[in-house]
Structures are given as structure tokens and as C-alpha cells.
């Protein structure tokens, strides 16, 4: 088995944050919550788990990080729907700030000179 040609049950997805490796039960256990909480944040469209061939929900590490943030807010007394909206808005703000920083760097860098 090599890094270029991975084999095994995960097929090289061990480091892939977006690979849906966790069942609902395992995800709930890792987050210290219930499957009902995961269903609720799915219904609120915070995360959309992929489905296995048998129709079971599967979660990625990235989705679990998002769910953990929502759980923090819920634990502080925020209703699930509001917590999901807050997490979505935080994510949108972070992306907008990243794009702004990219545009700022591009505008500040000197334009390449063209030789004739």
C-alpha cells in the first residue's frame, strides 16, 4: 500500500475532512449529544449528511465540527434553529473576510510589467 495508490476500507480517505466516515450513532457519541440533535440540525439545514447505500446518515469530520459549534450554542441556551442560523452566518462572515483579504493582497501587489 502506497500513498499514491491507497487501499483498504477507507480507500485513502483517512485525512479527508469531507469523507462521510461516521454513522449517526458514532457522531452523536463523539459530540456527546443524541441522534435527535443531529436530526434537528439537519432539518434546520445546518448540515446535510450523506446517505449510505442503505439510507443511513453518514457524517464527515467537517460536519462534526459544525455540529459541535451548534451544540456549544445550544448548551448556552440558544434554541436549535437560532444556533444553526448563527453558525451559518459565522461561516459566511469568515468566508467574506477571507475573500476581502485576498482582494486586498491582490490590489496591494505591484502589477507585473510587460516587456515589449
Maximum C-alpha span of the chain: 67
For the chain, report the end-to-end CA distance as a whole number of angstroms.
Answer: 52
Q: Identify which has the larger pLDDT, 111 or 19.
A: 19
pLDDT tens track for 5-40: 455 555 566 678 889 889 999 999 999 999 999 999
Rounded Cα gap, residues 69 and 73, in angstroms: 7
Show Cβ contacts of residue 58 under 8 Å, excluding neighbours closer than 6 positions: 20, 21, 22, 23, 49, 50, 51, 52
pLDDT for res 11: 58
Amino acid at each position: 500500500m502506497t500513498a499514491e495508490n491507497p487501499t483498504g476500507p477507507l480507500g485513502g480517505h483517512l485525512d479527508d475532512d469531507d469523507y462521510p466516515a461516521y454513522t449517526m450513532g458514532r457522531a452523536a457519541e463523539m459530540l456527546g449529544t443524541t441522534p435527535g440533535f443531529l436530526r434537528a440540525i439537519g432539518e434546520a439545514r445546518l448540515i446535510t449528511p450523506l446517505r449510505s447505500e442503505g439510507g443511513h446518515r453518514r457524517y464527515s469530520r467537517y460536519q462534526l465540527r459544525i455540529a459541535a459549534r451548534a451544540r456549544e450554542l445550544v448548551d448556552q441556551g440558544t434554541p436549535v434553529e437560532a444556533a444553526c442560523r448563527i453558525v451559518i452566518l459565522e461561516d459566511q462572515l469568515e468566508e467574506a473576510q477571507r475573500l476581502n483579504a485576498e482582494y486586498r493582497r491582490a490590489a496591494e501587489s505591484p502589477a507585473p510589467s510587460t516587456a515589449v
